[in-house]
Chains A and B, each alone.
Chain A
């Protein structure tokens, strides 16, 4: 049972090993990459192909190109790609190699050690004027009354045509040519209370083509009345806070004063309600009454009290 399983595994392993390595006249040959395809968007050109699979082996690929000039005048000359001779991934960014708006032929082959496949050539020649141009991403911001635009960076081939206008009937459309950078670009100083709309598209001089327009974005500039109301509100708020703060400070002061120097209240019996003259005249009458009665000093004192 176990031996049968081992035998089956061995047969399968040998079969798998032989699949990619076809033997031609007894010599092992590496299959050429298949399904070469070019994807080009916004002047970025990527060549892809189906990978050559050899179990437990790393395949390397080499990409070469031939411009229209070479095809016409020096057809035996193929130029190795800048970044993909060799490469391990089944794709190649050949943007840097495609430098002119002419047709290019591209080919790929696989290598494994001393084994080299045949060249696989892209079925249709590629011209960068067939690149897909997408509408640019943009961000509209306001810095006070300055209308600013930030555009996505698509590389050195691109210029941006920015169209902007005041959103009102009969308004004139302005256009500005922009090269994107790190900072937003100033478009215009706008009037308060008005709405402004912006749209943009790219232009690639090398191929003489524009992209479609981006979605139109509109912003409404805040009017002068609103800042005034905000300022008023801010002032009232400030005054209220000031009053509360002062009251708090006064209250705290009072609390501190009471805690360290408390005021002592006299009981009612010790409180003097009559005037001092009356009190003195009252005491004099009491003293005479006491003397007349012949009381002793202690009794006198008790009587007086």
Chain B
């Protein structure tokens, strides 16, 4: 009987922690304007993807990496992928067209803001599965020439933004009105 009670308590605690993690990411990204970022990307998608010369290769590999991510790993993977784009992709891409430069700058600075927001989240620990998923993405990137890899990664931004949107379902008005 005691063992049953303890098991139930542990299960309840585990479920609570899981939901707290999931809620944690949504709360952490509370003021992210994903819609605006998607709009910025739509403005450059055609031009960027037209420069992608390796159509049958993918960097993000969503089926191997993103789609199988568990709720507990969402925050870590988000943090890692933001760092991937900010530290590598945006820096490696050379752009001369001012209009495209503005859109990429908008995305890069928005990603920087999201990184800062996530850094303040306490419930964002990295497990081995999350680290493995981001390692695959980095390896895919390293296999291509750096300019080509940057262009391809930029062209796949919609996949990443859609994934963030799926795991960040926005907040209700009631949670905002209290501030």
Binding site for B on A (CB under 8 A): 67-70, 72-74, 77, 79-80, 82, 97, 99-102, 159, 161, 175, 177, 203, 205-208, 210
Closest to A161 in B: B177
What CA separation (Å) do A100 and B113 show in the bound complex? 7
Query: Within the complex, which residue of B30, B112, B179 is in contact with A210, where a contact is CB–CB below 8 Å?
Result: B179
Which residues of B from 78 to 93 have beta carbons under 8 Å from A?
86-87, 90-91
Query: Within the complex, which residue of A72, A99, A177, A210 is in contact with B106, where a contact is CB–CB below 8 Å?
Result: A99
Sorted from nearest, which 3 A-B pairs have the closest CB atoms?
A100-B109, A67-B109, A99-B106
Q: Which residues of B contact A67 (CB under 8 A)?
A: 105, 108-109, 112
Query: Within the complex, which residue of A69, A205, A206, A210 is in contact with B108, where a contact is CB–CB below 8 Å?
Result: A69
Asked if B33 is at the interface of the complex by the 8 Å CB criterion, the answer is: yes
What CA separation (Å) do A100 and B110 show in the bound complex? 5
Q: Is there contact, CB below 8 Å, between A161 and B105?
A: no
Q: Which residues of A contact B106 (CB under 8 A)?
A: 99-100
With both chains docked as a complex, state the minimum distance between the C-beta of A143 and any C-beta of chain B, in angstroms.
25
Q: Is there contact, CB below 8 Å, between B110 and A203?
A: no
Q: Which residues of A contact B127 (CB under 8 A)?
A: none
Task: Give the interface centre of B33, B98, B109, B179 by most chain A CB atoms within 10 Å.
Answer: B109
With both chains docked as a complex, state the minimum distance between the C-beta of A297 and any C-beta of chain B, in angstroms.
123
Query: Within the complex, which residue of A97, A159, A206 is in contact with B33, where a contact is CB–CB below 8 Å?
Result: A206
Q: Is there contact, CB below 8 Å, between B31 and A208?
A: yes
Q: Is there contact, CB below 8 Å, between B98 and A99?
A: no
Q: Which residues of B contact A203 (CB under 8 A)?
A: 176-177
26 A-B pairs in the complex with CB atoms less than 8 angstroms apart: A67-B108, A67-B112, A68-B109, A69-B86, A69-B108, A69-B109, A70-B105, A72-B112, A73-B90, A74-B91, A79-B101, A97-B102, A99-B106, A99-B110, A100-B106, A100-B110, A100-B113, A101-B113, A102-B116, A161-B173, A161-B176, A175-B177, A177-B173, A203-B177, A205-B176, A210-B179
With both chains docked as a complex, state the minimum distance between the C-beta of B15 and any C-beta of chain A, in angstroms.
29
Query: Within the complex, which residue of B40, B87, B176, B179 is in contact with A99, where a contact is CB–CB below 8 Å?
Result: B40
Q: Is there contact, CB below 8 Å, between A69 and B33?
A: no
Asked if B125 is at the interface of the complex by the 8 Å CB criterion, the answer is: no
What CA separation (Å) do A222 and B120 show in the bound complex? 53
Closest to B170 in A: A205
What CA separation (Å) do A70 and B176 show in the bound complex? 32
Closest to A205 in B: B31
Q: Which residues of B contact A79 (CB under 8 A)?
A: 98, 101-102, 105
Q: Which residues of B contact A70 (CB under 8 A)?
A: 105, 108-109
Q: Which residues of A contact B36 (CB under 8 A)?
A: 99
Q: Which residues of A contact B111 (CB under 8 A)?
A: 69
With both chains docked as a complex, state the minimum distance between the C-beta of B139 and any C-beta of chain A, in angstroms.
23
With both chains docked as a complex, state the minimum distance between the C-beta of A162 and any C-beta of chain B, in angstroms.
10
Q: A74-B91, A175-B177 are in contact. Are A68 and B110 (CB under 8 A)?
A: no
